[in-house]
C-alpha cells in the first residue's frame, strides 16, 4: 500500500473548469482530497443562486399555502386577536385592583396592545 500522500497544489474547478491553486478551494473533510470540487468563486455564486432560488420557492410555497388554506390563516389571526384581547382584559382587571399602577404610559401601552411591565 502506498502511504505517500500526494499533495496537490492545484485543482481543476468542476464548474468553471479552470485550474486554480488548492487554496482557492474550500476545505471539505468528506471529499477525497479534502477540498470541495468548486473554486471559492464558483462556490459562493453557487450558494447565492441556491439561496435566491430557495427564497423564491419558499415565498411561493407560503403564498400557495395561504391560497389553499384561507380559513386557516383566518383562524390563526383570529386566535392571535383573541389572545391579545384576553391579555388586554386581564391587564385592565389587574389595574382595577391596583389603581396605583395606572399612569398615562401604562394606559397607552395597553391601548397599543403591548404588555406594560410593572
Ligand atoms: Zn470555479
- Predicted confidence (pLDDT) per residue in 37-82, tens digit: 999 999 999 888 888 888 888 899 988 988 888 877 777 788 888 8
Residue 92 resides in a domain: yes
Overall domain count for the chain:
1
Cα 102–chain centre separation: 39
Beta strands in 35-98 (DSSP E): 35-39
Q: What is the CA(38)–ligand 1 centre distance, in A?
A: 5
Residue 70 resides in a domain: no
Beta strands in 1-118 (DSSP E): 10-12, 19-21, 25-27, 35-39
Q: What is the CA(31)–ligand 1 centre distance, in A?
A: 16
pLDDT of residue 35: 92
User: pLDDT tens digits, residue range 5-20?
Assistant: 667 799 999 999 999 9
Residue 98 resides in a domain: yes
Q: What is the CA(30)–ligand 1 centre distance, in A?
A: 19
- Which pTM value belongs to this model? 0.43
Residue 33 resides in a domain: no
Q: What is the CA(21)–ligand 1 centre distance, in A?
A: 11
Separation of alpha carbons 23 and 40, rounded Å: 9
Range of the domain at 108: 79-118
Tell me the three state secondary structure of residue 18: coil
Q: What is the CA(44)–ligand 1 centre distance, in A?
A: 10
Residue 85 resides in a domain: yes
- In a 13 Å sphere around the CA of 53, the CA atoms on its Cβ side amount to 6
Q: What is the CA(13)–ligand 1 centre distance, in A?
A: 5
User: Percentage of the chain with pLDDT > 90?
Assistant: 25
Separation of alpha carbons 25 and 38, rounded Å: 6
Q: By CB neighbour count within 10 A (0-12 exposed, 13-18 middle, 19+ buried), where does 40 fall?
A: middle
Amino acid at each position: 500500500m502506498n502511504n505517500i500522500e500526494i499533495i496537490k497544489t492545484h485543482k481543476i474547478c468542476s464548474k468553471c473548469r479552470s485550474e486554480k491553486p488548492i487554496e482557492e478551494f474550500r476545505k471539505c473533510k468528506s471529499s477525497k482530497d479534502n477540498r470541495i470540487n468548486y473554486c471559492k468563486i464558483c462556490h459562493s455564486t453557487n450558494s447565492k443562486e441556491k439561496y435566491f432560488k430557495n427564497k423564491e420557492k419558499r415565498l411561493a410555497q407560503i403564498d400557495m399555502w395561504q391560497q389553499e388554506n384561507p380559513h386557516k390563516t383566518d383562524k390563526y389571526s383570529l386566535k392571535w386577536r383573541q389572545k391579545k384581547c384576553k391579555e388586554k382584559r386581564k391587564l385592565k382587571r389587574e389595574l382595577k385592583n391596583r389603581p396605583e399602577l395606572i399612569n398615562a404610559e401604562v394606559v397607552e401601552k395597553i391601548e397599543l396592545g403591548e404588555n406594560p411591565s410593572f
